[in-house]
Structure 1
Amino acid sequence: MSSTFSREERKILVSVSGAHFVSHVHILALPPLFPLMRDAMGVGFLELGLALTVLNVVTFFTQAPMGLLVDRLGARRMLVAGLLLGGLGYVLAGLGGGYSWLLVGAFLAGLANSVYHPADYAILGSSIEDAHVGRAFSLHTFAGYLGSAAAPFLMLGVSYVAGLGTALVVAGLLGPLAAIPLLRGARQEKPAPRRAKAEAGGPRLLNAAVLSLTVFFTLIALGNGGIQSFAVSAWNAASGISLAAANVALTAWLAASAMGVLAGGYVADRTKRHGLVAAFGLGAAAVLLLVAGLGDLPALPLTLVMTLSGFLSGMIMPSRDMMVRAAAPPGQAGAAFGLVSTGFSIGGIAGPVLFGWLLDHGQPHAMFAIASALLIGAVLMSLVQELRRGRRLVMAPAE
């Protein structure tokens, strides 16, 4: 098997990663504009926050069903539909201008957001050679990081030059633009044959491996989401470190996570023991978060500790995705990724409430302790997956 991407694989990887870039721009398109929206729409931050809640709740309830549709109707078709739907949502919000149109746009963006993970991973997992599918997953994830980083600059820049409504329309137009390279493959894609409802002894989607990976994703989303949203406030409250220094440490964590994702692709392609990779990376990252949160470190040591923790957190992500790929029953990759990705939504809904409550009650150190404990829980779940993998290998010759 070749260790480099073929021309066709590169085309697929670029088009799918482009869609993932746009999906992250759409997720973070609204928050940078909230101060402008508050004045333009005459609403408060509570109402604006409700738009994000709508997006996340819609994604949570529709992601697993969308995964089933990805397997049934075709991953490329569904990905094109998601890009067009998300684009439509932001165009309507920009042209409508009012708060009600913002909620409509958030609803459509949440529905579109539920398509991306199951469709992206189904395409990459079936189209990229096994020898470098880990790197494909890592580049796909890295494209999402780039989208998250680009969103504030894009939205504020366009709004400054051309106004709030134009910024939302521009964000929307990114959807159909990213769909163009996928159109040919979507037209040629054939729907999967309808599967029998009950195949004796056949693998089921709701098996122990997929369900435990859903918990695994939820724990990671809760732990890392707490750090991303509240670490700066917690450091400032716990040790009096300046907001500027705390933001530098958090930025270093995020940037190192992106670099770790790229390195993790090479790691994932060189081992089949992805559960052990995840356990090592998350365990070490959790210990470093404890040091960063409980050690009252000065600015420079804090930044160095967070940089290493972020790199390790990012490094495990391609192996995390390979674990899902291995656990997915044949022909149900989209459904498996759709189901486990609901863990992201659970983390996005529950995490802010939990960690916000801790800070409101004067417990900044507890925030880091709980975030680390959640990651340790994910370590245990990854070790369970590795044990399952070992049992499958032992039983394989007898089948």
Structure 2
Amino acid sequence: MQSVVLRDESQRPWREDARVMGLVGVAHASSHFSHLLLPLMFPVFVQEFGWRYAELGMLSSLFFVISGLGQAGAGFVVDRWGARPVLLTSMALYILACLQAYAAQSYAGLMVVAVLAGLGNAPFHPVNFTILNQRVSTPRLGYAFSVHGVSGNLGWALAPVFFSVCAAWWGWRHAFLAASVLYALILVLLLIHRQHLVTIPAPVASSPSMRERGSGQGSALAILRMPVVWWCFLFFLLSTVTLAVVQNFAVPILNALHGISLEQASMTLTAYMLLGAVGILIGGFLAARFAQVTDRVVALCMVAAALLMALCASGWLGPQATLWLLALTGFAVGIGGPSRDLMIKKGTPKEATGRVYGLVYSGLDVGFALSPLVFGLFMDQGWYTATLLGAALVLFISAGVALGVGQRSVPH
């Protein structure tokens, strides 16, 4: 096996770091794009196949269950074999998922799509953060995490435009075929620049740095005994619960509480995502400037977002101001994004990056899966204000958990 030697940080020019950031950013955008492969076509499936939204919603749950379970284990694969082969395999799975969607004739066929896409999505956080942590200079990691976060938001923003245009021109099946071509082009791009995606496989045995964090005896599963890992997991679960509320229920809540049209409410959701991307860009500079207190930066951003969402729930400032407050909530959360990723890095042993990121970021999938189940019951009861207040409360609790992560992190 050919050995891989990464260049010393002091020798890495900006151009090399920027290339790695760009490649990882494109990959991350394709991951977020996959979250909406099926949901964007739900209205079409209702008309064409007569399925209920409850049945179709199970497809999204299946996607995130597969992704969450796979992500927790994918980190071990990344640490054992390196990030590049796992990343390329994920892109191939996306292509297969889109081709399966193009050919699907039954609900079972779409379940296969959800499984394939969920498996493809599973490794992205351990893959991406392993590449960034090994290939990007430490002083530039704040900017790298900022690019990573922005690219994810852009993937979410691109998917509705892509599928609506392609479906209008060629029909929904050919929209999925076009998506498979898009993923194939991304795969070719990654293959062309594959030398910039190489990472060094990590040893399975625990090292002194892991033992300092309370990991105990040496094994690949030692990270499960590290308290900071579970605090990080809990933070991601809680913060994602609120994001899932916004994505799933913000439009009907604004319509029900304030009589805002569905079109205008949908534009507010778009503004939430776009302002989130702007916040992530600004947050990258804050993360680089305040790298030693990332947990406090994250906590302040979560508290600010919680207060804004509580104001949205109150409706005190009227319908139009509520729209802006909701959009600004995305901005506040976005600012904390790069500091959040650096906060996780501070609590992660260098030799277990893939394993820790895989387990910690599976909290995202758990949050996405649980939130609609809990707050969907609120919505069915017409408790729209309580839904927003509940989401605000969860964000506030996540701020305390972020401070808990900081207290349990040990400098490398």
Give the TM-score taking structure 2 as reference length. 0.88
How far did 1:191 drift?
Answer: 6.0
The 3 A distance-change label for structure 1 pair 33 and 282 is same
The code of the aligned residue for 2:229 comes to: V
Q: CA-to-partner distance for each residue in 1:104-151, whole Å, 9 max, x for gaps?
A: 121010011101111011101111111111111111111111111111
Secondary structure class of the residue paired with 2:21: helix
Q: 1:316: which partner in 2?
A: 336
The code of the aligned residue for 1:353 comes to: L
Which of residues 386, 391, 395 in structure 1 aligns to 2:406? 386
2:307 paired with 1:307 = no
Which of residues 261, 266, 291 in structure 1 aligns to 2:280? 261
Q: 1:178: which partner in 2?
A: 186
Q: Is the 8 A contact 1:77 1:186 kept in 2?
A: no
Which of residues 7, 25, 28 in structure 1 aligns to 2:33? 25
Q: 2:218: which partner in 1?
A: none
Which deviates the most, 218-227 or 37-46?
37-46
2:290 paired with 1:281 = no
Give the TM-score taking structure 1 as reference length. 0.90
How far did 1:285 drift?
Answer: 1.0
The code of the aligned residue for 1:347 comes to: G
Which of residues 13, 21, 25 in structure 1 aligns to 2:21? 13
Runs of 5+ unmatched residues, structure 1: none
Secondary structure class of the residue paired with 1:195: coil
The 3 A distance-change label for structure 1 pair 157 and 19 is same
Q: Provide the rounded CA distance (Å) in 1 between the counterparts of 2:65 and 2:197.
A: 33
Which of residues 68, 93, 116 in structure 2 aligns to 1:60? 68
Q: CA-to-partner distance for each residue in 1:132-172, whole Å, 9 max, x for gaps?
A: 11111111111111111111111121122222222112212
The code of the aligned residue for 1:63 comes to: Q
2:352 paired with 1:343 = no
For the aligned residue pairs, the C-alpha RMSD in angstroms reads 2.4
Q: Provide the rounded CA distance (Å) in 2 between the counterparts of 1:12 and 1:152.
A: 27
Which of residues 189, 201, 205 in structure 1 aligns to 2:211? 201
TM alignment of 1:1-399, pairs within 5 A: 6-183=14-191, 185=194, 189=198, 192=201, 194-196=203-205, 201=211, 203=213, 204=215, 205-206=223-224, 207-271=226-290, 272-389=292-409, 392=410
Which deviates the most, 37-46 or 296-305?
37-46
Q: Is the 8 A contact 1:135 1:266 kept in 2?
A: yes
Identity in percent? 31
Runs of 5+ unmatched residues, structure 2: 1-8, 216-222
Q: Is the 8 A contact 1:5 1:132 kept in 2?
A: no
Q: How many equivalent pairs are there?
A: 391
Q: Provide the rounded CA distance (Å) in 2 between the counterparts of 1:134 and 1:339.
A: 21
Q: Provide the rounded CA distance (Å) in 2 between the counterparts of 1:188 and 1:216.
A: 28
The 3 A distance-change label for structure 1 pair 245 and 384 is same
The code of the aligned residue for 1:201 comes to: R
How far did 1:301 drift?
Answer: 1.7
Q: Is the 8 A contact 1:80 1:186 kept in 2?
A: no
How far did 1:241 drift?
Answer: 4.2
Q: CA-to-partner distance for each residue in 1:349-373, whole Å, 9 max, x for gaps?
A: 1111211211222321211211111
Q: Is the 8 A contact 2:84 2:199 kept in 1?
A: no
The 3 A distance-change label for structure 1 pair 33 and 219 is same
The code of the aligned residue for 1:62 comes to: G
Which deviates the most, 50-59 or 117-126?
50-59
